[in-house]
Amino acid sequence: MSDKPVRVRFAPSPTGPLHMGGVRTALYNYLFAKKNNGTFLIRIEDTDQTRFVPGAQDYIMDALKWCGIMPKEGPGLGGEYGPYVQSERKEMYQPYAERLVQEDKAYYAFDTAEELELMRERAKQMGMPNWQYNHVTRTSLKNSLTLPQDQVEELLANNTPYVIRMKMPRNRDIRFEDIIRGWVTVNTNNLDDKVLFKSDGMPTYHLANIVDDHLMKISHVIRGEEWLPSAPLHVMLYEAFGWDCPHFAHLPLLLRPDGNGKLSKRDGDRLGFPVFPTDWTTAEGELYSGYREKGYHHQAFINMLAFLGWNPGTHQEIFSLDELCEAFTLDRVSKAGAKFDPDKTKWFQQQYLRSTPNEELADQLSEVLEHKYDVSRLTTVCHLMKERATFIQDIATEGAYLLERPTSYDEQTVSKKWKEDTSALMTEWKNNLEALSTFDHDSVENAFKAFLEAKGMGIGAVLPNFRLLITGTGMGPSMFEIAAFLGKEECLERMNQGLTKIEALKNQA
Ligand code: GLU
């Protein structure tokens, strides 16, 4: 292994929308690159044409953009190692596969799918359910190792379909160090002769992945744990080509909230939370929901993802993307699967609202409210409401009365708190407010206290009804702040409107 400049890649296959686990892989690559003054690139691995899903590549790029973790090189982004889509690099791979055949490290195999199926069936009947094309079985199969040279040439000349398989050496220990898992040792006798080049003229994932990582000068391969079983083959391929092997880091799986198994794309909507960054609609019209459309801010989403498998080693939990770039190291990524916690995800979003300046939230709120209100007023709305909200939309809904007069009055509060003498009491309180020469938080509060004292009443008998008249609700932030925000005139008008409407309600009942 060498110490080249840090270049890392995210290499998704466009087989559908990007699962949250995929976004985490991209995020860790991004953070690692930033932390080490390196380059983060994206490469689309679409060699398996049968699994190609239209729209998936755009979805992936759009999701990374929303998350704020755009690669520096990739399709449509430029970079000197392109193209960054494997199907556009198609011509490059065959010579590499041929080279391994020339060097006796790979071979042509002419067995048809039916013949191989038959072998598998027979093996199964003989009590061997896991038949493999390997160093033992290849000696009795139809390949360039068993057939005479002239027959091989004839088959090739006749365009007989073939694949190129890795000639896995016999009984060798492959050892490599994974940054997260430590040393991994696998004996080649347990590995099969993987196909490197397919009969459709395309490389397999394994060959294309190694060739591209080499040509794109990738220094660290950071990817999901599901690729760990492929790593020994990859190490063998680097060795076969005589190339430097990149460093490996296999990230822990994302598990279901109950820790029972891998978090799959179907789990999300079934268990009531999204598993995708943004909405995805399948060709059949089926919708998989996304965090963006559910109202999450990308910063909260990223913060939550960063903690699925990593921790900073301190008590700090709230991080901006820049802070994550600063704090991130691979040696603090855990081996154990990371349990996804939907409540904690909401908590991150709440914390995001709480720690974000009101001016910034006001811009987002303005967007939600289609720019109908003055942004400086929205800044105060955010200040008043954000402690009680999770999403910016909550501020819009629950703080609606700060922007428009109430159209209804919370029935429960009316029936519990509005007594026979409340109208008279509230009219008196309204008159006191009217008499105030300054109308701010403190003056309203002082007047309120004086009123309670004069009446010999407790807060509970007066405040809920005052709130009801002004906001139509039974709960919320400080009434004195709300009154100061609305101003005297608006408060008085709301009280008049409320008195009339609640009286009418009472009379109806
Ligand atoms: N194309 C593989 C995937 O879809 C990439 C694996 C790797 O990063 O090597 O996840």
Q: Is the CB of 299 under 6 A from ligand 1?
A: no
Q: Is the CB of 223 under 6 A from ligand 1?
A: yes
Rounded-to-integer distance, Cα 304 and Cα 294, Å: 15
Q: Is the CB of 13 under 6 A from ligand 1?
A: yes
For the stretch 245-279, pLDDT in tens is 999 999 999 999 999 899 988 887 788 899 999 99
- Kindly report whether the peptide bond that precedes residue 277 is cis, defined as omega within 30 degrees of 0: no
How would residue 3 be classed by pLDDT, with cut points 50, 70 and 90? low
By the 8 A CB rule, do 285 and 266 touch?
no
Q: Is the CB of 25 under 6 A from ligand 1?
A: no
How would residue 1 be classed by pLDDT, with cut points 50, 70 and 90? very low
Rounded-to-integer distance, Cα 232 and Cα 248, Å: 11
Q: Is the CB of 12 under 6 A from ligand 1?
A: yes
Query: Going along 84-241, which residue ranges are E strands?
Result: 106-109, 163-166, 173-178, 182-187, 195-197, 220-224
Ligand 1 atom nearest residue 234's Cα: 9
Instruction: Give the distance (Å) from ligand 1 centre to CA of residue 387.
Output: 41
What value does the mean pLDDT of the chain take? Answer: 96
User: Which amino acid residue places its CA nearest to atom 10 of ligand 1?
Assistant: 12
Catalytic hit among 4, 72, 265, 344: 265
Among the four given CATH numbers 1.10.3660.10, 3.40.50.2300, 3.40.50.620, 2.40.100.10, the one describing domain 7-74+210-254: 3.40.50.620
For the stretch 100-116, pLDDT in tens is 999 999 999 999 999 99
Q: Are strands 163-166 and 106-109 parallel, antiparallel or unpaired?
A: antiparallel
Instruction: Give the distance (Å) from ligand 1 centre to CA of residue 226.
Output: 9
Residue with tokens 């020994």: 232
Which residues fall within 8 angstroms of residue 186, CB to CB, at 6 or more apart?
A: 173, 174, 232
Concerning whether 124 is annotated as a catalytic residue, the answer is no
For the stretch 64-112, pLDDT in tens is 999 999 999 999 999 999 999 999 999 999 999 999 999 999 999 999 9
User: Which amino acid residue places its CA nearest to atom 5 of ligand 1?
Assistant: 11
User: Which amino acid residue places its CA nearest to atom 3 of ligand 1?
Assistant: 12
Ligand 1 atom nearest residue 12's Cα: 4
Q: DSSP assignment, residue 6? A: P
134 pLDDT higher than 70: yes
Residues, the chain:
509
Pocket test for ligand 1, best of 15, 49, 59, 205 (most atoms within 8 A of CB): 205
By the 8 A CB rule, do 435 and 377 touch?
no
Q: Is the CB of 19 under 6 A from ligand 1?
A: no
Ligand 1 atom nearest residue 227's Cα: 6
Which residues fall within 8 angstroms of residue 7, CB to CB, at 6 or more apart?
A: 33, 38, 39, 41, 216, 217, 218, 219, 220
For the stretch 5-30, pLDDT in tens is 999 999 999 999 999 999 999 999 99
Which CATH class name applies to 280-355?
mainly alpha
Q: Is the CB of 11 under 6 A from ligand 1?
A: yes
Output the DSSP codes for 390-426.
SSHHHHHHHTHHHHS--SS--HHHHHHH--TTHHHHH
CA dihedral 504, 506, 507, 509 (to 10 degrees): 120
Ligand 1 atom nearest residue 209's Cα: 9
Q: Is the CB of 227 under 6 A from ligand 1?
A: yes
Picking from 299, 302, 327, the residue whose alpha carbon sits closest to that of residue 314 is 327
For the stretch 305-323, pLDDT in tens is 999 999 999 999 999 999 9
Q: DSSP assignment, residue 104? A: T
Same CATH fold, 92-206 and 7-74+210-254? no
Picking from 298, 305, 293, the residue whose alpha carbon sits closest to that of residue 352 is 298
Token pair for 433: 């407010």
For the stretch 437-465, pLDDT in tens is 999 999 999 999 999 999 999 999 999 99
Boundaries of every domain in the chain: 7-74+210-254, 92-206, 280-355, 357-400, 405-508
Cβ-based burial of 228 (10 A; exposed 0-12, middle 13-18, buried ≥19) = middle
Confidence at residue 49, expressed as pLDDT on a 0 to 100 scale: 85
Average pLDDT over residues 395-416: 96
Q: Is the CB of 29 under 6 A from ligand 1?
A: no
2 pLDDT higher than 60: no
For the stretch 50-61, pLDDT in tens is 888 999 999 999
Q: Global pTM?
A: 0.92
Q: Buried b / exposed e across 136-167, counting CB within 10 Å, b at 16+?
A: eebeebbbbbebeeeebeebeeeeeebbbbbb
Instruction: Give the distance (Å) from ligand 1 centre to CA of residue 188.
Output: 22
Supply the CATH classification number for the domain 92-206: 3.90.800.10
Rounded-to-integer distance, Cα 134 and Cα 279, Å: 43
Pocket test for ligand 1, best of 28, 223, 248 (most atoms within 8 A of CB): 223
By the 8 A CB rule, do 300 and 342 touch?
no
Rounded-to-integer distance, Cα 475 and Cα 482, Å: 12
Topology of the domain covering 405-508: Arc Repressor Mutant, subunit A (1.10.10)
Mapping DSSP onto H, E and C, the string for 260-326 reads CCECCCCHHHHHCCCCECCCEECCCCCEECECCCCCCCHHHHHHHHHCCCECCCCCCCCCCHHHHHH
Q: Is the CB of 47 under 6 A from ligand 1?
A: no
